[in-house]
Amino acid sequence: MTAVITFKDVSFTYGGPLILDHVDLVIEKGEFLGVVGPNGGGKSTLLRLALGLLEPTSGQVRVLGKAPTAARRMIGYVPQFATFKRDFPISVEETVLLGRLGITKPLGGYRSIDRQIACRVMAETEILDLKNRHIATLSGGQLQRVLIARALACEPEILLLDEPTANIDLRVETDIFDLLKEINDRTTIVVVSHDIGFISKYVRRVACLNRTLICHSASQITGEIIQELYGRPVRMIRHISGQEQEAGS
């Protein structure tokens, strides 16, 4: 297997207490990795380090064998839903085409190939019929598909998603993760989520992060592991065919 993202003895602080403390993590090509942990545990910071938006206080991050800033064009990124401004006057197609910025020529507008790629990823994410809609008119699930299509428009080798299904109902969450599973056939995926029981049926490994990091295979995740991660009693609910089942029951 080929490592596409490597964290080696990485620590990070914004100037106060450590957010990440000597984190080691190797993400292999083709992997579908879930990152879970409490608020403030360092999950978003981990993604920002991989994107080259932050630099580690100590240790080393490598993406595709390079510094993260040098590999940024090979990464698609889907930000947290809650931070996305929906009142900007832009259509679905125009939003998806933003994923071509930095790849297409800087002057003269988008090329024919850019529009072809945008149409292809909109079709893949099942939003092609919405391409002329204003993003403010979309449902939460539709908007998330638009953000995923925008991230795919750069034809990335790696797709990073920061809580892509927060505040979205279970049916839509299932649809989004079914789509991600299909995309994983060609793209390495790292997804931050709070829904541990749900993502465990999609991801191959779960990185449990609360300042320090421990990886488990998805099948090894238990209520005891989650309680230790969050530092308090937590019920782990697995979603199975529209039903909910508590771990260990």
Are 151 and 51 a contacting pair, CB within 8 Å? Answer: no
Q: Is the pLDDT of residue 244 over 50?
A: no
Please indicate, yes or no, if residue 117 is contained in any of the structural domains: no
Please indicate, yes or no, if residue 134 is contained in any of the structural domains: no
Identify the CA nearest to 192 among candidates 10, 33, 19, 22.
Answer: 33
Q: pTM for the complete prediction?
A: 0.86
Which pLDDT score is estimated for 39?
Answer: 86
Please indicate, yes or no, if residue 51 is contained in any of the structural domains: yes
Each residue's pLDDT tens digit, 223-239: 666 666 666 555 544 44
Please name the amino acid found at residue 60.
Answer: Q
Rounded CA-CA distance 126/147 in Å is 12
Please indicate, yes or no, if residue 190 is contained in any of the structural domains: yes
Please indicate, yes or no, if residue 52 is contained in any of the structural domains: yes
- Output the CA torsion 216→218→224→230 (10° steps): 80
Q: Which residues have CB under 8 Å from 157's CB, separation 6+?
A: 4, 29, 64, 74, 75, 187, 188
Please indicate, yes or no, if residue 61 is contained in any of the structural domains: yes
Domain count, the chain: 1
Please indicate, yes or no, if residue 183 is contained in any of the structural domains: yes
Each residue's pLDDT tens digit, 195-220: 777 788 889 899 989 999 988 787 66
Q: Is the dihedral of CA 121, 126, 127, 130 positive or negative?
A: positive
Any idea what the CATH number is for the domain that residue 72 is in?
Answer: 3.40.50.300
Are 245 and 238 a contacting pair, CB within 8 Å? Answer: yes
Domain that holds residue 193: 3-84+157-246
* Residue 134 or 165, more confident: 134
Q: Is the pLDDT of residue 119 over 90?
A: yes
Each residue's pLDDT tens digit, 35-88: 998 888 999 999 999 999 999 999 999 999 999 999 999 999 998 865 567 778
Please indicate, yes or no, if residue 95 is contained in any of the structural domains: no
